[in-house]
Structure 1
Amino acid sequence: MRAPGILDLALFWFICPLAAPVRICAFNAQRFGETKMAKITIRNTIVQILTRCDICLLQEVQDARGRAIPALMKELNRVHGSEVFAHISSAALGRKSYQEKYVFVYRSDRAEVTDSYQYEDNHPEKPDVFAREPFIVRFHLPTTAVKDLVLVPQHTSPQDAVKEIDALYDVFQAVKERWKPKGIMLLGDFNADCDYVAKKRWPQIRLRVEPSLTWLIGDEVDTTVRANTNCAYDRIVIYGEKLAREIVLGSARAYDFPQSLGLSEAEALEVSDHYPVEVQLNSVQLGKNGQNHLLVPTTLILLLTASLGLGLLTQSFL
């Protein structure tokens, strides 16, 4: 059998155009506000983290005067060189004076917000379970096979983590009933480990035992920056067979930004005590008529390219 030649490679790339996967992240930026934006080194690190993601859920956003997020968006777009980054934000959420916002920062050329709503559980028919109810956002992802994806954020109150994670099951059911989407992703700092969720409690948590849900960030994953902690606080949970099929193999992980960006532990802790968690979705290339070309997982493309390249190398020695 002959080794593949240049025409084979050209034909392969014509049939299987490479599109970058869509990376979805969740990052507890630990009291993110004007103070952190004013510190250049911290701001630069946060920008480096966010520019890796096509959609990123920011948590613990404390921007009472509404200045930090606009400044962050301005810096993201300045670094990128065009007005590509956009955001959608919840109102400030919390029972007392301590309040936070959920903010989704996203690339407008890779994702489009089609709908959103604030989940509420503080009315007479339901108990007030969540300290910070999910701000649910529906995205259209034109470059993925999963066009319709709903993101459900949650930053639990640590002392009520078991109760709030369990109650996310009710949120999940409400989203299914409201929109009937093909894919749902629940993500954020669930405080889902160590002192806040004992192993013996998992069988009592409906979100964990529901067979249609897949927990992509496992109990063994350390999502904390401190060397003396090892806790899987931050999680990503998905629903939908199509969504599960389009997850890039091995892409669900905690992003060790101190190691990647060459930061000491002390420097990293000025940014956050959490690693971001992330996952990637396979992409398809859109043709001029807006139709999808042949879907080829990125990992498969790389393997086939390596194989073809090896064939060319072998042929050169024959």
Structure 2
Amino acid sequence: FLCHSYVGCLLLSFCSLMIGGAAGLRICSYNIQRFNTTKAADYRVMHTLTKIVSRCDICVLQEVVDPELKAVKALVASLNRYASTLSSRTKTDSNPERFLLWLSTHLVKQLGQHQYEGKAFVRPPFAIHFSCSKTDIKEFVLVPLHSDPDQAVQEIDWLYDVFEEVSTKWNNTNVMFLGDFHAGCAYVTRNDKKKIRLFTNSNFSWLIGDREDTTVTDTTSCPYDRIVVHGQSFLKAIRPFSGKVFNFGKEFRLRQAKVGGLWLQQKDPEKHKIPIKIFHLCGWIIKFLYGNKTCCKHINDINS
């Protein structure tokens, strides 16, 4: 369910608010590749999706193409301890996409949402303002982006304008951008970075490095998926590039996982072993230290 027809399948992107060895607030982002009624009717897809989303406390799904919301309702029924929020439809083609956000209501409260209408994004970013009383970072903003590959450089640069708008709106500079940026290989080159303010401005921290591979095909190695944060509370607490790829085929003991209509071959488990003790399941782990409080007591500490 994370597959791109032109680049294979994207891996999962996670980050986590943690303390020591205890599990914390888990934030996830997925490009589900055209989630619709056809996928919702496939038990295997829905079962796998439910298992993964249920391990997150905030989850952003990209490429939801479900005008009548039948697929969304099916997912809601299987994730009844979560609240959901949909962005406005985008106008990319005859099948407009949406962002679908899930949050665990006993840990996180949604304070507001904002549909960006500025620059000419193909899929305009959707900002969500959160609070979590059990973390030292009491409030923060998430902004998912699924960039258009043909104008990825421009759209990633425009995120700076999005940052200025949402940080002013909510008076909060603790902003996280996450999603399928297409921020690598031919779409964003080394020279292109000079044109992107999120790269040239040192106040932004890129938590997934340029050498990481967020695809799962043996023929493609590109860091398309990214997580970028701004704000002193985030920057001082994060261990940059501290995560590795999450092999969900191995996690769920699948030799082949039929996801998004494509057969996904399990890769070498040793090559993608996660060398972090806290979470065996995370694709990308970012540490946020927040005092002596535990934000997610319902999640067990899982060692790799």
Alignment TM-score, normalising by the size of structure 2: 0.78
> Which residue matches 2:157?
166
The change in CA–CA distance for 1:171 and 1:270 in structure 2 (over 3 A counts) is same
Describe the shift of the 1:17–1:134 C-alpha distance in structure 2 as closer, same or farther (beyond 3 A): closer
Indicate the residue corresponding to 2:93 in structure 1.
Answer: 96
2:73 equivalent in structure 1: 70
Higher strand content, 1 or 2: 2
Alignment of 1:302-313 (within 5 A): none
User: For 1:192 and 1:18, how far apart are their aligned partners in 2?
Assistant: 32
**Contact preservation (8 Å) 1:30, 1:271:** no
Change in Cα spacing, 1:223 to 1:265, as seen in structure 2 (3 Å) is farther
User: Where do 5+ consecutive residues of structure 2 fail to align?
Assistant: 1-18, 265-280, 297-304
Structure 1 pair 63–145 and aligned structure 2 pair: CA distance change class (3 A): same
Task: Give the residue type in structure 2 aligned to 1:100.
Answer: E
Q: Does 1:234 align with 2:225?
A: yes
Do residues 259 (structure 1) and 250 (structure 2) align? Answer: yes
Q: Distance in 1 between matches of 2:73 and 2:260?
A: 23
Structure 1 position 280, deviation (Å)? 4.8
* Structure-2 change in CA distance of 1:23 and 1:158 (3 Å): same
Amino acid at match of 1:37: A
Task: Identify the residue that residue 46 of structure 1 maps to in structure 2.
Answer: 49
The alpha-carbon deviation at position 200 of structure 1 amounts to 1.8
Of stretches 231-240 and 258-267 in structure 1, the one that deviates more from structure 2 is 258-267
Q: Deviations over 1:22-68 (max 9, x none)?
A: 11111001111111111111111111111111101100011111111
Could you give the per-residue CA deviations for residues 250-282 of structure 1, whole angstroms, max 9, x where no partner exists? 654443222322334563463798x98544554
Counterpart amino acid of 1:52?
R
Question: In 2, are the aligned partners of 1:188 and 1:236 still within 8 Å (CA)?
Answer: yes
| Separation (CA, whole Å) in 2 of partners of 1:120 and 1:27 | 23
Task: Give, in angstroms, the shift of residue 20 of structure 1.
Answer: 2.8
Instruction: State the alpha-carbon separation in 2 of the partners of residues 201 and 220 from structure 1.
Output: 16
Q: Does 1:106 align with 2:106?
A: no
Quote the residue 1:185 is aligned against: 176
Matched with 2:129 is 138
Q: Kindly state the Cα deviation for residue 212 of structure 1 after the two structures are TM-superposed.
A: 0.4
Provide the residue aligned with 2:278 in structure 1: none
Q: Which residues of structure 1 form unaligned runs of 5+?
A: 1-15, 78-83, 122-127, 285-292, 299-318
Divergent runs of 4+, >3 A: 16-19, 245-254, 268-273, 275-284, 293-298
Could you report, residue by residue, the CA deviation over 1:59-111 in whole angstroms, capped at 9, with x for unpaired residues?
0011111111121021123xxxxxx2111110211243241101111111111
1:311 equivalent in structure 2:
none
Q: Distance in 2 between matches of 1:297 and 1:133?
A: 31
Given that 1:20 and 1:283 are in contact with CA atoms closer than 8 Å, whether structure 2 keeps it comes out as no
* Contact 2:39 2:46 (C-alpha < 8 Å) held by counterparts: yes
The 5-angstrom pairing of residues 288-307 of structure 1 reads 294-295=292-293
Q: Give me the whole-angstrom Cα distance separating, in 2, the residues matched to 1:17 and 1:252.
A: 16
Q: For the residues of structure 2 that align with 1:201 and 1:252, how far apart are their CA atoms?
A: 25
Matched, 1:60 2:63: yes
The counterpart of 2:212, out of the listed 214, 221, 232, is 221
Alpha carbons 2:141, 2:175 under 8 Å: kept: yes
Asked if 2 retains the 8 angstrom alpha-carbon contact of 1:143 and 1:283, the reply is no
Contact 2:207 2:286 in 1 (8 A): no
Could you tell me whether the CA contact under 8 Å between 2:208 and 2:241 is conserved in 1?
no
- Over 3 Å counting, the alpha-carbon distance change for 1:114 and 1:255 in structure 2 is same
Partner of 2:103, secondary structure, is strand
SS at match of 2:159: helix
Identical-residue share of aligned pairs (%): 36
Residue-pair matches, total: 262
CA RMSD of aligned residues (A): 2.8
Give the conservation status (yes or no) of the 8 Å contact 1:26–1:278. no
TM-score (norm 1): 0.74
The 3-state SS of whatever aligns with 1:191 is: coil
Mark the CA change 1:278 to 1:85 in structure 2 (over 3 Å): closer, same or farther.
farther
Q: Give the distance between the partners of 1:105 and 1:221, measured in 2 at CA.
A: 26
Partner Cα distance (2:120, 2:253) in 1: 40
Q: In 1, Cα distance between the equivalents of 2:209 and 2:57?
A: 23
Q: Find the partner of 2:30 among 27, 32, 37.
A: 27
Residues 262 and 269 of structure 1, relative CA distance in 2, 3 Å threshold: farther
Determine if contact 1:144/1:282 at 8 Å carries over to the other structure.
Answer: no
What is the CA deviation profile of residues 156-186 of structure 1, one whole-angstrom value per residue up to 9, with x for unaligned ones?
Answer: 0111101101111111111222222141100
- Cα deviation code 1:211-241 (max 9, x no counterpart): 1000001111111122221111000000111
